Amino acid sequence: MLRLVIILCLFAATSVGATDSWRGAGILAGGKGYAQTPMGQVHYRDIGPRDAKLPLLLIHQAWMSMIEFAEIQDELAKLGYRSIAVDTPGYGMSDPAPGQPTIGDLADNLVPVLDDFGIKKIIIIGHHTGSLISASFAAHHPDRVAAVILHGNPYFTKEESEAYMAQPDYDRTPKPDGSNFSQFFTYDVPGDPHPNTPENLRSRTWMLLTMYQMGPDIGHWAVFHYDLTEDAKAIRAPTLILTDAHDQINYMDVRLSKLRPDFKYEVFSNFSGIQLMNEPKRWAETVGRFIAPLEK
């Protein structure tokens, strides 16, 4: 009898009308494929109007994948923009990178991705680690870039990098009580608006899932061994710095804006760096306002 009750409960929990609203990988519906690069297959999602003048290339942060742009891409498509989000090597569904790439290596690896599409020029947009990759790409491949958006820039000094590297890694080792998962939800992210809001819980869940999907954290190693200064000085395309007031690296965005006062600087939110996932529509609209003049 007990077994029957359990089976009936499981059936009820998965039947039509259940309260489970998790969409899973379904939020990445459409446009997926692979480009062959020197670092192996790079996974991408390409959606939006085919006749868009300047496609947007979206580069995610480390501890993440293209999933952080999934709902943003849908909103950009509604605004008439074509966007291509990629999983950087070693993250998401892309192949592991051979060895330990630098930020410059990861940036250069975008060239064969664009060539695979036959795209000559893009607007490149990055978040955190993706921001550094975008800056490096814009600096070293200026003929391929019409504009740049850098959201949250890990612009470390040598001393700051050493201090971050000295911190213990997040332990992903599975534990019998599941605390390797639960501790991620009790961890206080400075600047989170309300950690228990549905939007923020969803964003944290995706970050946790993608963190377990990735292999060694090659992205942060690359960040800590990269100095943004010279590449930032070399960027010639119109550039927007986006920041979140309570992002732990907000002061680094300020530092970058002082290095390049000609870059437009805008505070996206008063919260943490995960807020772009919580507000995909507003983020897409923010991007649209900056690039609209370039489309004319």
* Residues 40 and 96 sit within 8 Å (Cβ to Cβ): yes
Name the band, by pLDDT with cuts 50, 70 and 90, for residue 184. confident
For residue range 147-172, list pLDDT tens digits in order. 999 999 999 999 999 999 999 988 89
The three-state secondary structure class of 216 is coil
- According to the model, what pLDDT value does residue 194 have? 65
Which residues partner with 239 through β-bridges? 148
Residues with Cβ < 8 Å from 231, sequence gap 6 or more? Answer: 135, 136, 138, 139, 140
Q: Does domain 29-295 have CATH number 3.40.50.740?
A: no
Q: What pTM does this model have?
A: 0.93
Segment 86-141, tens digit of pLDDT: 999 999 999 999 999 999 999 999 999 999 999 999 999 999 999 999 999 999 99
Domain ranges of the chain: 29-295
Tell me: the pLDDT tens digits for 36-68? 999 999 999 999 999 988 999 999 999 899 999
Structure tokens at 153: 């820039």
Mean pLDDT of the chain: 92
pLDDT tens figures, 247-285: 999 999 999 999 999 999 999 999 998 999 999 999 999
Write out the two tokens for 238. 């119109």
Crossing angle for the helix pair 198-213 and 179-186, nearest 10 degrees? 140
pLDDT, residue 53, reads 86
